[in-house]
C-alpha cells in the first residue's frame, strides 16, 4: 500500500471509490472472451452500465475540521499535511511519495520536491472525487 493510498484513506470515507481496492484484472472483459462464434462474426456484447457520478468530498472541510495538537499549515506544506493525517512526514517518506508520483526532479532539493508533492497530492485528490480549492491545484 502506497503513501498516496494512505492519504486517500485518511480523507475519503471507506465507501468512496478512491479507497476501494482495484478490481482483479485476471478475467478479461466479456468483449475479449471467446464466445464460440466464428471468427469475424459479430458479437453481442452488452454495454457497461453508466457510471454513477462520483461523490464529491470537501477536502478543505475535512482537513480544516481535523484536530491539531499544533498549528499546521496543510494548505501549503506537504509535511504539515502528512502530520495532520498522522502519517510519516520524514524525508524518506516524502521521497517514497515522490517516487510513487513519478517525480523527475532532484530529491536532494527537498524544498522544490515538497512544493511539487503538495501540488500533486491536491491534484490527485481532486481527480479522485475531492473538492479541492482551485488555488491548491494546477
Q: For the ranges 5-14, 32-41, 64-73, 101-110, which has the lowest average pLDDT?
A: 32-41
Please check whether residue 101 lies inside any domain of the structure. Answer: yes
Please check whether residue 135 lies inside any domain of the structure. Answer: yes
C-alpha grid cell, residue 70 = 499544533
Please check whether residue 104 lies inside any domain of the structure. Answer: yes
Q: Find where cell 508533492 sits.
A: 117
Q: What is the pLDDT of residue 132?
A: 94
The boundaries of the domain holding residue 136 are 1-12+55-138
Number of domains in the chain: 1
CA dist 71 and 48 (Å) reads 48
* pTM metric for this prediction: 0.74
Task: Find the DSSP H helices in the chain.
Answer: 3-11, 59-65, 78-84, 91-100, 110-127
Please check whether residue 114 lies inside any domain of the structure. Answer: yes
Reported as a single tens digit per residue, the pLDDT across 16-63 is: 677 766 544 444 444 444 445 455 555 455 555 555 556 788 999 999
Contact 118, 135 (CB under 8 A): no
Please check whether residue 24 lies inside any domain of the structure. Answer: no
Please check whether residue 123 lies inside any domain of the structure. Answer: yes
Amino acid at each position: 500500500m502506497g503513501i498516496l493510498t494512505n492519504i486517500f484513506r485518511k480523507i475519503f470515507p471507506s465507501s468512496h471509490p478512491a479507497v476501494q481496492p482495484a478490481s482483479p484484472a485476471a478475467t478479461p472483459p466479456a468483449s475479449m472472451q471467446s464466445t464460440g462464434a466464428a471468427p469475424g462474426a459479430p458479437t453481442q456484447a452488452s454495454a457497461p452500465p453508466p457510471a454513477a457520478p462520483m461523490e464529491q468530498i470537501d477536502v478543505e472541510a475535512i482537513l480544516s475540521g481535523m484536530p491539531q495538537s499544533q498549528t499546521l499549515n496543510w494548505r501549503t506544506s506537504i509535511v504539515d499535511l502528512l502530520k495532520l493525517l498522522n502519517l510519516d512526514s520524514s524525508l524518506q517518506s516524502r521521497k517514497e511519495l515522490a517516487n510513487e508520483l513519478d517525480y523527475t526532479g532532484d530529491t536532494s532539493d527537498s524544498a522544490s520536491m515538497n512544493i511539487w508533492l503538495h501540488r500533486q497530492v491536491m491534484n490527485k485528490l481532486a481527480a479522485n472525487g475531492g473538492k479541492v480549492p482551485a488555488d491548491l491545484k494546477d
